[in-house]
A and B are shown apart, each in its own frame.
Chain A
Amino acid sequence: MEQHRINYISPENSEFSITDGDTLQLKTNGIIYPHVKVFRSYPLNQTNKYISLKNASTEDEPEIGIIKDLDEFPQNTKYLILLKLDKRYFVPVIKKIVFLEEKGDHLSWEVETDRGTRKFIVRNSYDNIYPLKNGKFIVIDTHACRYEIPDNSLFQGKALGILSRHIYL
């Protein structure tokens, strides 16, 4: 059952670089993969663990292997991979809720995030704002864009009053 074995990519058996086309390149077991895509297996709960690497040069994009723990890699390699992960998972972290209003069945937000300020709308708040086990919250807007709320200390004043009606705090 060769195909079911997990091929772990470790600092010892791999070499990462960035190509001219701004893609991630991986050299492992003597093979060069010039276009590697990175996926998080547990994007919500384990952001730096079990990173799946896929060969995007082939049509089926088969998996090349899995990085068990990104933190084991040297700083510059980790940086390259994180750069790619941050581009794939565009999930701004909300630093401050500037404005929050209830309008009919949707919530209108204006927030300051680590990637700048943003306005968005959330519908079906019971489905689209959900707490994670680690105390974080994920918010999904009408465009299926995601935002992370690091903890419930952001909920204050009017926002707290409104959100207490929409989620479990």
Chain B
Amino acid sequence: MSIRETLPKNIIELLKENNIASDKIDLSLSSDIDTDGGYGKQWVIVADRKLLVYSNSSTPRELNRFDLNNITEIKSHNLVGGQVLEVSSDGTFFETVHYTNSQADKFSLAVKIINDMLRNPELKSVILDEWIAAEEEKLARSKKTDISQTAKRKTATRLIQMATPYMKSCIVMFILLLIGVTIDLTPPYLTRTLVDDVLGPNAQHPMWLMQLVIALLGIQLARIVITVVNNRINTRVGNRFVFDLRAKLFNKLQRLSIDFFDRKQVGGLMSRVSADTEVLQSFISNISQGFLLNIVLIFGIGTVLFSMNWRLGLFVLIPGPLVMVATRMYWKHIIGYCNRYWFSRWRINSFLSGSLSGIRVVKAFAQEQREINEFKSRNNQLMQDALAINQSWSTFFPIMSMMFSLGGILVWYVGGHFVLIDDAKYHISLGTLIAFLSYLGMFYGPLSSLAQLSQWATQVLTAAHRIFEILDEEEESEEDKDFIHLNNINGKIEFKNVFFGYVRYLPVLQDISFAINPGEKVGIIGHSGSGKTTIANLICRFYEPTSGQIFIDDTDITLIDKTDLRNQIGVVLQDPYLFRGTIAQNIAYAKPNANMDEIIQAAKIANAHDFIVHMPDGYDTRIGERGAGLSGGERQRLSIARVVLRNPRILVMDEATSSIDAASERLIQNALSDLIKNRTTFIIAHRLSTIMNVDKVIVIKNGILKEFGPPKELIKIQNGYYSKFVRIQSDLFKLKSNFDMNNL
């Protein structure tokens, strides 16, 4: 991704014809949509203070030519799936090249550079070179984490590495397993002796009956002991493994940047932490109990069968391949349904949570029946998918059993012949046949499970892959950087040409610059969606600017230790998040060791004390998820108390009092005025009353800073945004007073 792409020869020729030497080219970049609107190229070239647009055919044409000195504005405009480069020149508006979002990064960088060239005709190309290199590097860095690709083989190796701490237990389990299998193999041997030498017509040792039965009993007991011990170790290792993994994942999630959570769905993350780790638990338990056991069993029994009578052994093998092939085919068929079933379950769950959390809306609009019908259809889908799986299992399982018994029947027939035959070469005893049949019963089961091995491995590897993907995400703070510690922030804040977009190519903030002195109160006003909250997010460094810089106390925000920064910034959000716990715990969230006086003091400042003590459990009131049981205003006041207790150096109030009535707001403001004295405070507001007495006002519109300065000066601007805002709000106020008067 470069904004100095190599131009094709014919374009260079064309430039030469226009007297532009190739060493005069400042920018050259291609789009990925051609003039006809299909995938293809057009070239945008900046050279010799001209902006040129060329088509990319074998005989390229000049589509547009602008003189940079005549351009009044150049910007990329968002479309659906792509953007268009818009140029205003000599009073005419031009839509030039179109390109898809995949090219938007380089075009927005180009636009930025061109804008700088417009403003600064003397811009030296050496400076330009350095700047472009730096910006391109920044761009490349931000792209790096876009797609992490971890190969399957690597996943397997890492999975085994993660299991290393449990190796000792695994070895013990394996030894126990070998002993267990050996024990499993003995009873049929004993029954053979029982049939041939004790019970048969030619029995030579009828007295052994007692001893043999006791031996059989002893073997059963030993088997139980081994099974119990093995299972206990197994579950302990499995749970321990998952415990460690879950903890690792959660620690990681807490350290990831907000940007990551914007990219991923929270629901998906939850399933990774809970479901995927459980799949991995099966990995541990399956190693010893599942496929290892099966392999050992197959080899053990196979050896015994062949050593007893290799001719019969050959007949045993006949259904073997059939079992394997049938199982594999079955799994191939069923796996799609399994995934679908999983999806259906996910769909029904998400519907359920949506419908139940919105139950008030459902009832208010009397739409219960519609919800019931919608649920019915999803429920039906789930049933269909479950049915598909169960039905095919119900068919498959009996067929499998039949195949197993087919082997048995063959052995009965051929083995029966061998028993009856007198030829010493082929003859076997009845006891041998019975023992043979018992071994056979133990043989096909493991074979069939082994056929599912690849499926199981895929499942485990996919789960592991999903988990590693999170573990591999780049963390919020890069450890290799030396961060500057600011233990006592004064509160000087400066934005310098800040551009930002949550999705890089959709800029939310464009070229924002302002400077705030320590202790100043700043009001930010603008329409909803104009970028007010984004400014707050950037000050908290939840995100980093796409380009430009933010300084706090003259230090670049990206160099400040994040913990230092956030410890000294307090944010009150419009929709405050409260955690499950008591009111006191929620207020003391950022200062868990706060004493009761401090908590009450903070609540008083936030005008929350009165309503809290009115509650039956006072400060000990337990509140539900997201503060269920409290009104919007009460939640906001609690979150203000939380910030008050934190005592930050910089305070950001993001429509913090929007759900609070005017009288309470006044009370909170009065109380806060002490708190915010000498602290830099940002107040994002819709209401004029909220930003009374601020030192400066920032007016933002569509991501662009329109006005900035003391309100006294802004009000003087004829038709200015701030003066309009004040006028509208005053009219509203008048309207409201009239209304109140009429209703008295």
Residue numbers of A with Cβ under 8 A of B are 19-23, 34-35, 43, 56-57, 83, 86-92, 103-106, 113-118, 121, 124, 126-127, 142-146, 161, 164-166, 168
Contact = CB atoms under 8 A, between A and B. Distances in A.
A88 B84 CA distance: 9
A116 B80 contact: no
Interface residues of B, number: 40
B469 A104 contact: yes
Nearest to A34: B93
A115 B94 CA distance: 24
A104 B147 CA distance: 10
Given A90-B80, A115-B37, A146-B80, A103 B100 contact: no
A89 B465 contact: no
B79 A104 contact: no
Contacts of B146: 142
Contacts of B591: none
Interface centre among B37, B95, B146, B335 (most CB of A within 10 A): B95
Nearest to A43: B80
A150 B39 CA distance: 19
Nearest to A102: B462
Contacts of A83: 37
Does more than half of chain B's interface fall in helix, strand or loop, or is it mixed? mixed
B616 interface: no
Contacts of B336: 161, 164-165
A105 B472 CA distance: 14
A86 B503 CA distance: 23
Contacts of B622: none
A87 B98 contact: yes
A22 B38 CA distance: 17
A89 B81 contact: yes
Contact of A115 (B39, B79, B102): B39
B79 A88 contact: yes
Contact of B81 (A20, A90, A117, A124): A90
A103 B94 CA distance: 42
Contact of B82 (A20, A35, A145, A166): A145
Nearest to B702: A59
A90 B265 CA distance: 26
Given A92-B39, A118-B39, 12 more contacts: A87-B37, A88-B79, A90-B37, A90-B100, A104-B465, A115-B38, A124-B265, A126-B343, A145-B82, A164-B336, A164-B340, A165-B343
A113 B80 CA distance: 17
Given A35-B93, A146-B81, A164-B340, A90 B33 contact: yes
Nearest to B155: A104
Contacts of A87: 37, 79, 84, 95, 98
A157 to B, nearest CB: 13
19 contacts: A23-B94, A35-B93, A56-B93, A86-B37, A87-B79, A87-B98, A88-B79, A88-B80, A89-B79, A92-B39, A115-B33, A115-B39, A127-B265, A143-B100, A145-B82, A161-B336, A165-B339, A165-B343, A166-B339
Interface centre among B33, B81, B84, B149 (most CB of A within 10 A): B81
A144 B81 CA distance: 6
A104 B466 contact: yes
Interface in B1-41: 33, 37-40
B239 interface: no
Given A142-B146, A145-B82, A90 B98 contact: yes
Contacts of A166: 339, 343
Contacts of B335: 165
A126 B79 contact: no
Given A87-B79, A115-B37, A21 B343 contact: no
Contacts of A114: 38
A1 to B, nearest CB: 17
Contacts of A146: 80-81
A166 to B, nearest CB: 8
Given A142-B147, A145-B101, A91 B81 contact: yes
